[in-house]
Structure 1
Amino acid sequence: MSLTLEFDGAVATLTIDRPDKRNAMSFQMWSALPGLLDKVEADDALRVLVVRGTTHFSAGADISEFTTLRREPDDARRYNAAVHAGERAIATLTKPVIAAVTGVCVGGGCEIAVACDIRIAADDARFGITPAKLGIVYNAVSTKRLVDVVGPAWASQLLLSADLVDAATALRIGLVNELHPAADVFARATALAATIASRSQVSVRGSKKIISRITEGLHDEDEAVHALYEDSVNSDDYAEGVAAFLDKRSPQF
């Protein structure tokens, strides 16, 4: 299948492992993503997911399948549905997701990275979203997420030109959070994941929900938001956090 899911304490790592194709995503791989993400969602011991490639993050969808699995319009619609479901599985995971990006991060690979909450990248990585080279209209949900991340002007440049940008540009436009030497990217991503895993999960997941609501245009403090507040102040995490602060020690969540 060329996707592996591994666990180390509270951190799960999903690896795109198809180096002979620069980790291009096949239809089978896209189709497998929801099931793999369901495993992460269902395991209460897992608190953070890191998504990585091997040498490269991902060169996108496997173009060789376009003449077979995407030859006819109905086939293309089925393929696009699998891509969308895979991207949504990452973007809607209730637990934080960190992309550890090295090498090329293009097309569907960039779509996966943008679906993550945080992107840690190599200082020589390259990024691009290239449907304009293929006669494809980029999915509206993924386009919105790209606009949320980099703004409409840079989303326009990336989508309309289909040009690749370097890591320094990706950092400047907000496409990535941090840059590091390629050899250090996964270590930094897993260290950040461990830090997030050590924090109050009531706070982490509540914050992720509110951030998601804001990007969806929901800015009011409605009953759902008030419920998050209420759950937090009645949680064991809140009691531990206050006690640890008063005792001048690190909290154990």
Structure 2
Amino acid sequence: MNEPLRLEIDTGIARLLIDRPDKRNAFNQAMWTAFPGLVDAAMANPDVRLLIVQAATPGPFCAGADIAEFAKSAADPAWRRANGAGIRATQVTLARAPKPTLAVVDGDCIGGGCGIALACDLRIASPRARFGITPAKLGLVYPLHDTRLLVDLVGPAQAKRLLYTAELIDAAEATRIGLVQILADNIDAAVADHVARLLAGSPHTQRGTKAIVSRILSGVTDDDPASSGQFDAAFEGVDFAEGVSAFLSKRTPKFGG
């Protein structure tokens, strides 16, 4: 029997696979607890350039929290604290992962599952994907960190619309409002194309850019010694030397990062 979450690494790509199809990949407490460690393991592996989060089998990405477990345990304050801590650790660890991350969505992506997708850098979806964040169906209020991920992507008005109504939107609508970045009939081909483009780029640039964007989203508005130093140091890095050499030689660069 497969673990409901597992990490597979091959040729520079880490895949964090959600494998609980009998429950539409809904997350229970054990899965929330395990998720951050798998992200950290991918980030710590020097060979990994990209982390992809996806369902292990075609179909739902994640239907959200395991409502049966939630209904059984939510009256226990200790369980609620542990559950909240697990969800927050999952979202924060994924959102702050230093290397690029990608959610591949080929079915329903709802509630906490949508939160996982929002915490990734980019989302690629097939036409059958659906997205929704549904606390209004349960009388709940989402935490600030999770809500901010949504607001940063789609803006406050669209975020309010989705949260107030708990409606599910299709992949085309999700793309229109900025929740999805790539919509593709052939999702496997689209993922392969994105991976190839990412692997062709400088890992040093990608990690540095992700760190700068994160600082901008946290409210930093101008350069400081850290960002200026990062800009200056890049000129002495191996990726810059390789990029210039490849450009002058009219060849494809082979970045080491």
Shift of 1:192: 1.2
Quick one: which of 26, 46, 49 aligns to 2:48?
Answer: 46
- Alignment-derived partner of residue 141 in structure 1: 145
**Given residue 131 of structure 2, which amino acid in structure 1 is its aligned partner?**
F
Q: Partner of 1:177 in structure 2?
A: 181
Matched, 1:105 2:109: yes
Residue of structure 2 equivalent to 1:207:
209
Pair 1:186–1:89, CA change in 2 (3 A):
farther
Displacement of 1:142? 1.0
Deviates more, 1:237-246 or 1:195-204: 195-204
3-state SS in 1 of match to 2:14: strand
Which of 238, 241, 246 in structure 2 is aligned with 1:239?
A: 241
Q: Greater CA deviation, 184-193 or 218-227? A: 184-193
Q: In the TM superposition, what whole-angstrom CA distance separates every residue of 1:30-86 from its partner, at most 9, and x where no partner exists?
A: 100111011111111101011101311000011011123322233222211111111
| Counterpart for residue 119 of structure 1 | 123
Given the alignment, which residue of 29, 42, 61 partners 2:65?
61
Deviations 1:186-219 (A, max 9, x none): 4422431232123111111111111111111112
Q: Secondary structure at the match of 2:73?
A: coil
Cα deviations across residues 161-205 of structure 1 (Å, max 9, x unaligned)?
111111111010000001112xx3244224312321231111111
**Aligned equivalents of 1:82 and 1:35: distance in 2?**
11
Trace 1:70-85 onto structure 2 (pairs within 5 A). Answer: 70-85=74-89
Structure 1 CA distance for aligned equivalents of residues 242 and 167 of structure 2: 50
Structure-1 residue corresponding to 2:231:
229
Structure 2: state its 5+ residue gaps: none
CA distance in 2, matches of 1:42, 1:61: 28
1:215 partner letter: L
Q: Distance in 1 between matches of 2:189 and 2:75?
A: 41
Partner of 1:37: 39
- Which whole-Å CA distance do the structure 2 matches of 1:128 and 1:186 have between them? 23
Which 4+ stretches in 1 moved above 4 angstroms?
A: none
How far apart, in 2, do the equivalents of 1:242 and 1:162 lie?
A: 50
In structure 2, how many angstroms separate the alpha carbons of the residues matched to 1:20 and 1:229?
49
Normalised TM-score (structure 1): 0.96
Q: Compute the RMSD of aligned alpha carbons.
A: 1.2
Structure 1, unaligned runs of 5 or more = none
Worse-matched range after superposition: 64-73 or 50-59: 64-73
1:22 match: 24
In 2, Cα distance between equivalents of 1:48 and 1:192: 11
User: Match of 2:18, as an amino acid?
Assistant: I
TM-score (normalizing by structure 2): 0.94
For residue 193 of structure 2, the aligned residue among 175, 191, 194 is: 191
Q: Percent identity?
A: 48
Question: In structure 2, which of residues 151, 161, 167 is the aligned counterpart of residue 163 of structure 1?
Answer: 167
- How many Å separate the matches in 1 of 2:252 and 2:98? 25
User: Bigger shift: 189-198 or 129-138?
Assistant: 189-198
Partner SS for 1:50: strand
Q: How many residues align?
A: 251
Structure of greater relative contact order (alpha carbons < 8 Å, 6+ residues apart): 1
Q: Distance in 2 between matches of 1:171 and 1:114?
A: 13
Aligned AA for 1:34? Answer: P
